[in-house]
Structure 1
Amino acid sequence: MNWDFIRTFIAVVDTGSLSGASERLGISQPSVGRHITELETSLDVTLFTRGRSGMILSEAGLRLIDDARAMSYEADQFALKAASNKSRIKGTVRITASEFISAYILPSILCALRDAEPEIDIELIATDSTDNLLSRDADLAIRMFRPTQNDLITRKVNKLSLGTYATQEYLQKFGTPFKPEDLNQHRMVGYDRKNIILDGMKAMGLSSNRDMFAYRTDNPLVYLQLVLSGAGVGFCANVLAKKHPELIAILPELHIPPLEMWLTTHQEVRTNLRIRRTVDFLADSLTKLSL
C-alpha cells in the first residue's frame, strides 16, 4: 500500500475537499483524486460520498480513519527515531530566492536558523530565474508565484503587500499625485523587461506601457535606490518602505494586489532530515512575518 495515499486520505478528511487537500499537500487536485481512487481500489471499499457539500466519509471511511491517523503517528515516530541515531543535523542546504527576498527578508531568518542548527550550512542563490529548482541546482525555493509542477511540494507562507511611494524631496519638486491618472504627469520608476508593474496597472484598470517609466531597471536593489534618490514615483513593499522614513506613501486608494509568497522543494524533503528541518524553519519564520 502506498503511504502517500494514506496521507492524502487524512488530508481530504481534515479539509473536507480535494482542493483543500491539494493546497495542504502541495500537489495538484487531480493527483489528490487519483490517490483516493487508487486507495479505494486497493482496499476494495468506498471511502467517501461525493456531494455538493464536499467529501463525506462513508461508513467504511469512518471505520478506517482512526487507523490511518495511527499510521501517520507511527510514521512520524519512525522518522524521529531515525533522526535520533544521528548526533546532529549537519550539511549544506542550497536555497534559491528572488533578489528582493534574498536581500531584505531572508538574512535575519537565516541567522536565526544558524543559531538553532549550527551545523547546517546555507548556500543562497539570489536570482529571479525560475529554473534552479527544476534543474536540481537548489534544494528549495522561495518564489512570488505558485509553481505548478506535480513533482514539487509547495506551500503558501505569506503575502507581500505593496504601496506607491515617492520621497518628500520629489513631491516638493514635482507635486503630489492625488488620483491614479495623475501618474501620467509624473516621473515613474519601472521595470525594464519584467511585466509585473505593467500587468498590475492593467489589472487595476490603468493604461500603461513601458514608455511611461522615466527610469527602468529589473534589479530590485537598484530600483529601490532610484526611488530613494528622488528619481520618481515607485512601487515598493510596505515592509521595506517602513524602514525608510524619507519615503512618503501616496495614492492610498490605489489598491495594489499583494504578491503571494510560496515555499517549494522536492519530494525528497520527506526523507532528508537536513532539508526538512530547513523547510520547516523557513515556513514557520516566513508565516509569522507581518508583510
Structure 2
Amino acid sequence: MDWNYLRTFQAVADTGSLAAAAAKLSISHATAFRHIKAFESELGARLFEKVQGKYSLTDAGADILDLSSTVAVAMEDIDRRVSGTDVQLKGRIRLTAPASFSGHFLPGCLAGFRQDYPDITVELLCSNEELNMSNRAAEIALRVTHTPPDHLIGRKVADIPWGLYASPDYLAQKGTPRSAGDLAQHDLIGGAGALTRRDGFARIDRELRDRVVVRSDDLMTMAAFACRGLGLALLPADVARGGLKRVMCFDAMPDNQLWLLTHPDLRNVARVRCMMQFLDRAFRKDPEFTSP
C-alpha cells in the first residue's frame, strides 16, 4: 500500500474537504482525489460520503481511521529518520530525458555537475514517455511539452525554436538560402508519418513537395540525413546539433517548451533540488535556447 494514500486519507478525515487536504499536503486536488479512490479500491470499501459539500467518514472509514493512527505514528517516525539523509548532497538521482538531450546536451552538463557534486551519482534514463514518478521510477524529468502533468511540479526552463538546418558541406556546394523563396532551389528533407500533420512539414509538402529528396518520421534521423549533406531539414534546436548550421527560422512552427519536473514529495530533497537548480541555470545559459 502506498503511504501517500494513507496520508491523504487522514488529511481528508481531519479537514472534511478534499481541497483543504490537498492544500495541507501541497498536492493537487486531482492527486488527492486519485489517492482516495485508489485507497478505497485497495480496501474494497467506501471510506467517505459527501454530504452538503463535506467529506464525512463512513463506518468503514471510521474503523480505518482508528487503525491508521498507529501506522501513521510509525511512518512519521520513519520519515523523520530518513529525512536526515535528504539534506545531504550525496546519493543517487535518476533523471529521465528525451534522447535528443541525453545524447547532445546532458553529457557535458552532467560532467560539470559531477565536478561540483562528486558524491551524487546520476542515472540517466533516455525516454520520451511519461513516467509514473509516484513510484520513483525517476526523481527528475526533463520533458518537451506544452502541457506538463498536473501531478508533477517544476518550471519551464527554455523555449526551443525551430529552424531550417544544413551541414557546412551542403551549404558549400549548394549555397545558403536567404529567404523562403530560395528554398525552391534546394534539396529538402521531409517528414513522414505523424510528422506530416504538423504545420511546418505540411507547409513544405504543400509548397515544395517536388524538392523533398528523402523523408523520415523521426527528427533525429532527419538530423542525421542533414549531417550527411542530403539537404535542408526542419528541426528544433535541441535535435539540430553535431555541426549543423541554422540557415533561417521557420515561423510556421511555434517554439517547443522545455520543462523540468519532479514529484511534489521530493521538492525538499537536497540532491534533487540541487540538480534542478543546476539544470535550470545550464539551460538558461545555452545560446541555442530562449529563456522563458
TM-score range, shorter chain: 0.5 to 0.7
Q: Which amino acid aligns with 1:163?
A: G
Matching of residue 125 in structure 1 with residue 125 in structure 2? yes
Alignment of 1:25-174 (within 5 A): 88-131=88-131, 133=133, 136-171=136-171
- Tell me which of 262, 273, 277 is aligned to 1:276: 273
Change (3 A) 1:289 1:92: same
Alpha-carbon distance in structure 1 between the residues aligned to 2:271 and 2:173: 54
Matching of residue 285 in structure 1 with residue 277 in structure 2? no
Q: Check whether the contact 2:191–2:201 (CA below 8 A) recurs between aligned residues.
A: no
Alpha-carbon distance in structure 2 between the residues aligned to 1:265 and 1:85: 18
Partner-residue secondary structure (3-state), 1:137: coil
Equivalent residue, structure 2, for 1:235: 234
TM-score, normalisation: structure 2: 0.58
Change (3 A) 1:227 1:282: same
Alpha-carbon distance in structure 1 between the residues aligned to 2:168 and 2:270: 50
Q: Check whether the contact 1:109–1:285 (CA below 8 A) recurs between aligned residues.
A: yes
Q: Check whether the contact 1:198–1:208 (CA below 8 A) recurs between aligned residues.
A: no
Partner-residue secondary structure (3-state), 2:111: helix
Alpha-carbon distance in structure 2 between the residues aligned to 1:219 and 1:249: 15
List per-residue Cα deviations over 1:104-133 (Å, max 9, x = no partner): 111222122222221111110112223364
Partner-residue secondary structure (3-state), 1:207: helix
Equivalent residue, structure 2, for 1:199: 198
Q: Check whether the contact 2:164–2:250 (CA below 8 A) recurs between aligned residues.
A: no
1:164 shift after superposition: 0.7
Q: Check whether the contact 1:198–1:209 (CA below 8 A) recurs between aligned residues.
A: no
Work out the number of aligned pairs and report it.
Answer: 221
Q: Check whether the contact 1:113–1:281 (CA below 8 A) recurs between aligned residues.
A: yes
Partner-residue secondary structure (3-state), 2:254: coil
Change (3 A) 1:187 1:236: same
Q: Which amino acid aligns with 2:142?
A: I
List per-residue Cα deviations over 1:147-174 (Å, max 9, x = no partner): 4432210310111223212235435656
Q: Check whether the contact 1:162–1:238 (CA below 8 A) recurs between aligned residues.
A: yes
Alpha-carbon distance in structure 1 between the residues aligned to 2:250 and 2:279: 33
Change (3 A) 1:235 1:85: closer
* Structure showing greater Rg: 2
Alpha-carbon distance in structure 2 between the residues aligned to 1:242 and 1:225: 10
Change (3 A) 1:169 1:285: closer
List per-residue Cα deviations over 1:207-233 (Å, max 9, x = no partner): 38999561315262x432321110121
1:96 shift after superposition: 0.7
What is the aligned-residue RMSD (CA, Å)? 4.2
Overall identity of the aligned pairs, in %? 26
Alpha-carbon distance in structure 1 between the residues aligned to 2:285 and 2:259: 14
Partner-residue secondary structure (3-state), 1:115: helix
Change (3 A) 1:235 1:135: farther
Alpha-carbon distance in structure 2 between the residues aligned to 1:6 and 1:131: 25
Q: Check whether the contact 1:189–1:233 (CA below 8 A) recurs between aligned residues.
A: yes
Equivalent residue, structure 2, for 1:250: 247
TM-score, normalisation: structure 1: 0.58
